[in-house]
Structure 1
Amino acid sequence: MNGIVVTWPQLLYLGLVLILFYVAELLLFLRKARRQPRDGEDHQRVEALEDHVALLHREIEALKIRLAATSHLQDAVELPASETPYAHAIRMARQGADVEDMVRECGISRGEADLIAALYRAERQG
């Protein structure tokens, strides 16, 4: 018989080489897959960040409007140079002033005036 004769050890080596080749290819594929960003996840993260930036932008605009309104109210109310609106509100709360009066005279928000009034009401009672 003239032909190619392949022995069992040769087949075993050939099989081992093929298995090593496929394992190496699999490892390279997995490594490459880890490096590539997943389009769906990145797109969601970008959308979430854009939404957050838009929210912050709206908050900044609201704060600008509030600051402008507060500065107009502070210009209208003549306070001593060293007294801040909060110090004035505290002084008014200690004197027993109404929350609405603090909001109107000091140019602070209703929530801030409520907080100051509650704190100093407790101080007067305690």
Structure 2
Amino acid sequence: MNGIVITWPQLLYLGLALILFYAAELLLFLRKARSQALPREWRRRHAELEEELATLRSEVEALRVSLAAGAHLHYAAPAAPPVAAPEETPYAQAIRMARQGADVEAMVRECGISRGEADLIAALYRAERQG
């Protein structure tokens, strides 16, 4: 009787090989499932955008028909919130003073800018007043 004899260590190696094979198969299956999940999300988002586009097209067509029929649409833009007047910067204040003819010392004292900056602003706006 010549049969196949399998020892315990050989059976253990065979079992480990089968476990590794099934683990590799599981990893491949999970990778494939993950790669297909993202396009499924894209398809769902694409369907939502197609629906929104169809709605917008129908609204535009309705507006086109009403304009062609001579209907006057009264659209009131939403009122903008009141904008607070911005604080006048030291340089804007110095420019205003230079246009009014103030001297450099007054600009340095009231605006808190350097003497060189005040000289430059005064020279620029002096030329504007003269020319």
TM-score between the two structures when normalised by the length of structure 1: 0.42
Larger Rg: 2
Larger helix proportion of the pair: 1
Kindly indicate whether structure 1 or structure 2 has the higher relative contact order, using CA contacts under 8 Å at least 6 residues apart: 1
TM-score between the two structures when normalised by the length of structure 2: 0.41
